[in-house]
Amino acid sequence: EEKSIQLPEFTLYHAVFFVFSITTMLILLYFFIRYLVYLFIGIFSLGAVVSLYILISPYLPSCQNRSVWWPRLLHGSVLSVGFTLSGVFIAFRNEPTVWPLQDFMAVCMLTVCVGSIRIRSLRTVTVMLSLLLVYDVFFVFITPYFTKDHKSVMASVALYPKERIPMAITMPHFPRSRQEVTCFPHRFSLLGFGDIALPGIFASFCLSFDYFSHPTGRPIYFVVCVISYLFGLVFTEVSLLLMRTPQPAMLYIVPSMLAGIFFTAWCRGHFKMMWKGMMDASPAPPPGAVQDLMEVSQPSEDDPPLAADTSSVMAESSAEDNVPLIA
C-alpha cells in the first residue's frame, strides 16, 4: 500500500517570515562576513550531501530487510560519494575551476528545495515575490547611499574577496579574444539561490494547478511560467550589459512571471480560482467521465422496480451527494 507524502504548505505568513529571515541574514553577513562565511560553506557542503542522498535514495533498494547487506552498502556508497564531493569542494573552493562541482551541488540542493515546498494560492506567490522584489532592489540600488564605500550590501556580500559564499550558481565569462584568456578564471556571473528556488516553487504551483484544472490536458500555466522566467533572465542579462553594474534579478523576473501568469489566468477564466487557492477540492474529472457515470447509473429494464418509500430516500440521497467537483 502506497503512502502519500504530505509536503509542508507555504502560507502567506511563511512568505513574510521568509523575507524577514533572509533580510536579517544578509545584514548579519554584511557586518560579520569574515566569521559567518565559513558557517555558510559548511551548511552548503552538508546540504549538498543530504540533497544528493534524497535524490538518489528512492531509486535504491530498501534497507528494511536487515538480513540483506548489499542495499545498505549502496546507501552508504551514495553518502560516501556525497561527502567526497563536499570534501573536494572545501579543499579547492577558491580555485576558479571548481565552479562545475559547485553548480552540481547547488542544483541538487535547489531540486530538493523546490520539490519539498508547496503553495496553494496565487496570492501567496504574489506577496512572496513582491516582497523579494523590494528586498532585491533595496539591497542593490538603495544601500549604496548608506554604506561607507558606496557599494551595495548585496554586492559586498556576494563578491567578498577573501572567501566566496557558495549560495549561487556560478558561470564563468568565456574569453572572446586571446587578450582575455588570462582574465578568464577571474570573471564570473552569479545567480543567487533565491533567484532560482522561488521562481521554481512558483513553477511547481503552476504545474499543480494545471493538473487540478485539466488532469489530461497540457501544462499551459507551467509552460507560460517557465517562458516568462526565461524572458526575465534575458532582461537581466541585457541590463547587465547595458548598465555595467550589478542588477537585482528579481526586478526583471518577478514582473515577467506574474504578468505572464496573470494574463493567462484571466484569459482562461481561472484567475479567481488561482488567487484564492481552490486546490483543496478534487481535481476536475477527465472528459467523458461524467457521461460514463450517468450511463452506468441508469437502471436497466430488467431491474425490479423500487418501492415508493425507498425511491424517495434514494432520490434525496443522490440529490445531496451530487455535488459538483469544481464550482
Alpha-carbon dihedral 169, 228, 129, 237, rounded to 10 degrees: 50
Cell digits of residue 163: 572567501
- Cβ(190)–Cβ(170) below 8 Å: yes
Give dist(CA 42, CA 86) in Å, integer. 9
Selected catalytic residue, list 149, 195, 303, 321? 195
**Catalytic (active site) residue 136:** yes
d(CA 205, CA 4): 18
DSSP 224-283: HHHHHHHHHHHHHHHHHHHH-S---THHHHHHHHHHHHHHHHHHHT-HHHHHHT--SSPP
Which of 186, 189, 226, 187 has the alpha carbon at shortest distance from 206? 226
- C-alpha 286 chain-centroid distance: 28
Radius of gyration of the chain (CA): 26
Q: From residue 238, give the alpha-carbon distance in Å to each of 168, 225, 241.
A: 20, 20, 5
Of 136, 210, 280, 321, which is the active-site residue? 136
Instruction: In whole angstroms, give the CA distance from residue 87 to residue 182.
Output: 28
Sign of CA dihedral 202, 203, 204, 209: positive
Return the axis-axis angle of helices 220-243 and 194-213, rounded to nearest 10°.
Answer: 160
Alpha carbons within 13 angstroms on the beta-carbon side of residue 109 total 23
**What is the residue type of 250?**
M
Name the residues annotated as catalytic.
Answer: 136, 195
